[in-house]
Chains A and B, each alone.
Chain A
C-alpha cells in the first residue's frame, strides 16, 4: 500500500450547486492549492459560526482526479447540522474550509480487477472510481452493484446506469431496458454472480447495516474476507 496523497486545511469556493433530488445537494468547489486525490478518498468540510463554534464532517469525493473542480454529493439528513446547512443555506460564491484529500485505504487506482457494492449515499466514492475508470478505459476492471430504496434515493442513478452498474431498488420496481421490470428487492446472489466473478478486491460503502449485508453477499459469492474494503458512513450501530 503506497502512501496516498494528503492535503492540509485550505478553502474552497462553491462554483456550482444544484439539488438533483429533494434530499440531495451537489456541490462543486474551486479548491485553493488543491492536492490531487485518488478515487475513493474524502474531504472534511468545516463550518464556522461567528462566535468561533465549528462543526466538521467527512464527505467522499465524487469527481475524477482530472476534473478541475472538486465535487461532493451530500444527502440531507433530517435535523443534520452540516448536511442540513449545505442543503438549505450554502450558495454559489460561498467560501468553506476544506481539508483533503484524506484516506488511503478505500481507494481504487485501476490496479486490480474489483467489484464495488454501495448503498444509498455510499455510492459517492464509487462514482469517482467509475469516472476514473471511464476516462482510462478500465470499465472492465471495475464492476458496480448499487442498492437504494428508490431511484430518487440513489445519487447519480442515471450516470451509474449508463456505466453499466447493476441497480437494485428495494422499495420500487425498476424498469429494465428491453422491457419488464425488476421487482423491488435487494440483489439476489444470482444477479451479482457475474459481476463478482474474477474480482480480486471488493469495495463496500454505505451504512453500518448495509455494509454487513454487502460483505455477507460478497463472502457468499466467494470473495475472501480480507479482500473486502469497507467504508461506513457514521450511522449509529
Chain B
C-alpha cells in the first residue's frame, strides 16, 4: 500500500506492546458508541438467561445473579473504532459460572449474545470460557453507566468491544455460527484486535 505523501503521524503509542495494530490510547476517556437510542432498563424486570444447546436452561433475576460468586476483570479494552483503554476494572460474574449451571451440550460450539434492544453478536463458545468473559455491572467500583451498557453488559475484553453486548439479557448456545447485528453489516465474525479482524474478509 502507498506511503501517504507528507504524513508522519502524531500519536505513536508510548506503550506499543499493549496497543493492538491500528489502535490509539484514549487515556482517561471512554468514547460511547451506540447504534440505538439508549434504553432505560429496569433491573426489577431484567433477567439473564442461558439457553439453546444446554442441559438445563437457566434464568437469573437481578438479585439472583448478584448472589453468584463475584469476579473482577482488570486490564485493557479495545474498540473497532480504533480506541483502546488501559487498566479498566469491571466487576460481575464470570460467564464460566453461568455456563456451568446450564451445562453446555457437546455439540454447542457458538454463542449468540442478545440484548434487551434486540442487538445480537455471535462468538465462538471457547471465547467465552476459561476465565475470558464476564457479565458485569460495575466499572471502576461504580455502577456501569447506561450509555456503556448499564446496568449490565457482556465483557469479552480480548475481542473488539462490539462483542461485549450492552444491556445483555441472554446467551444462546448454538451448534452453527450465525452472524449477529454488526456481523450482518460487514463486521468480522470473531474480532480479534491483535489480528485486526475488523471487517468480514480480514484474516
Interface residue ranges, A against B (CB under 8 Å): 1, 3-4, 6, 8-9, 11, 46-50, 53-58, 79, 81, 84-85, 89, 91, 94-97, 99, 102-106, 204, 208, 211-212, 215, 219, 225-226, 228-232, 234-237
Contact = CB atoms under 8 A, between A and B. Distances in A.
Contact of B9 (A55, A208, A229): A55
A77 B32 CA distance: 18
A228 B9 contact: no
Contact of A53 (B9, B33, B36, B118): B9
A191 to B, nearest CB: 21
Interface in B1-46: 1-12, 21-22, 24, 26, 29-39
Contact of B81 (A47, A58, A99, A204): A58
Nearest to B80: A58
Given A54-B22, A231-B35, A234-B33, A47 B181 contact: no
Interface of B: 1-12, 21-22, 24, 26, 29-39, 81-83, 117-118, 147, 181-182, 184-186, 199-201
B37 A81 contact: no
B131 to A, nearest CB: 30
A82 to B, nearest CB: 9
Given A56-B82, A95-B2, A102-B199, A89 B37 contact: no
Contact of A230 (B7, B22, B29, B35): B35
Contacts of B83: 234
A4 to B, nearest CB: 6
A137 B38 CA distance: 33
A49 B184 contact: no
A108 to B, nearest CB: 14
B35 A105 contact: yes
B1 A11 contact: yes
